[in-house]
Amino acid sequence: MIECAAYAVTQTRGRKYLEASPAGRSEFQRDRDRIIHSGAFRRLEYKTQVFVNHEGDLFRTRLTHSIEVAQIARSIARRLHLNEDLAEAISLAHDLGHTPFGHAGQDALNACMKDYGGFEHNLQSLRVVELLEERYAAFDGLNLCFETREGILKHCSAANAANLGELGERFLQGRSPSLEAQIANLADAIAYNNHDVDDGLRSGLITLEQLSKVPLVDLHLQEVNKIYPGLPERRAVHETVRRMINTLVTDLLRQSESNIAKQNPASVEDVRKAPKLILFSAEVNELQRELKKFLLDNLYRHYRVMRMSAKAQRIIHDLFGAFIDDRRLLPPQFQSSEGASEHARTVADYIAGMTDRYAIREHRRIFAVEEIPVSL
């Protein structure tokens, strides 16, 4: 491993439950390994962001997305002499709390939970690693290091922060997270903006001609067309997207290196007191804003995506309503005898843990009257 800078996270503040230090690997490598071996991580394979899992085998899933985020974050962390293992662990865990059906699912579950404290995927990711994974004899969750959990919680309202103890403090005090956490956060944006371009084109919902009006795409597409005239479209798309990722990563490195040099932090504590240092340049921020706007108007709000989202929301609403009305419809381990609010949270945990296809099947099992179930 390359030697870390003075402002890198090299030690942990510790875990909630005391454990002996791992032999042969670092604390953050152990966190990464625990995340990869968790059940929630495996379920990411069948959860999606824009396209529902059964729409095509070549689209990104949350699993491949998380791996892409980890790859980008590690490259940046290594170059900035930060803790690559921590950036990787945060990246791999960042989407563990996502509901089925991406943002449509999260919005629906949040609406269902409005009288019970709401639902937020970012907080749910934390809940997965702190409570919901049941793998260890001595504790609930994965007992990850403070810095990994801190990085997973990238945003949080003041009301929620007040209930989160030391993890919530930075939101109340306006402090920054570690540079490794800041990297994972922006690596997420680099990954999804670019793969949504790729998947959007593959789906046929957006075209290269439309995209060529977006400056960040046009810049690189023109270059590709100049070097490789007549290149088949799939290859031209890939050559363009890889150049886009490279531009974003290179810009992020340049701007962040300059910010770090100016701020000159001597420790992790200095990083926490400073404003965010891992940033894109203003110019590249603007290019990304235009790309995001294009994707929102033309892909995320495409009528075929909206149609699928509406169906997804109905599935979540129906399931939630059924489980709230009759606890006996739930698998035994979710049938609590607790009050309404605790029960609603248990239902939200159950639904959030579902994959796209499991939610569709469960809906069919409960609501479909036209077919005789072949399995119970």
The residues binding Mg ion (CB under 5 A) are 95, 188
Nearer to Mg ion by Cβ, of 101 and 320: the residue is 101
Nearer to Mg ion by Cβ, of 188 and 356: the residue is 188
What's the closest the beta carbon of residue 72 comes to Mg ion, in angstroms?
A: 11
Indicate the residue whose CB is closest to Mg ion.
188
Nearer to Mg ion by Cβ, of 95 and 362: the residue is 95
User: How far, in Å, CA of 230 to CA of 224, rounded?
Assistant: 10
Backbone phi and psi for residue 181, each to the nearest 5 degrees, phi listed first: -70, -40
User: How far, in Å, CA of 211 to CA of 215, rounded?
Assistant: 9
What's the closest the beta carbon of residue 94 comes to Mg ion, in angstroms?
A: 6
What's the closest the beta carbon of residue 229 comes to Mg ion, in angstroms?
A: 36
Radius of gyration of the chain (CA): 22
Nearer to Mg ion by Cβ, of 26 and 148: the residue is 148
What's the closest the beta carbon of residue 355 comes to Mg ion, in angstroms?
A: 16
What's the closest the beta carbon of residue 82 comes to Mg ion, in angstroms?
A: 20
Total Cβ atoms within 10 A of residue 114: 9
Nearer to Mg ion by Cβ, of 27 and 188: the residue is 188
What's the closest the beta carbon of residue 65 comes to Mg ion, in angstroms?
A: 6
Nearer to Mg ion by Cβ, of 260 and 352: the residue is 352
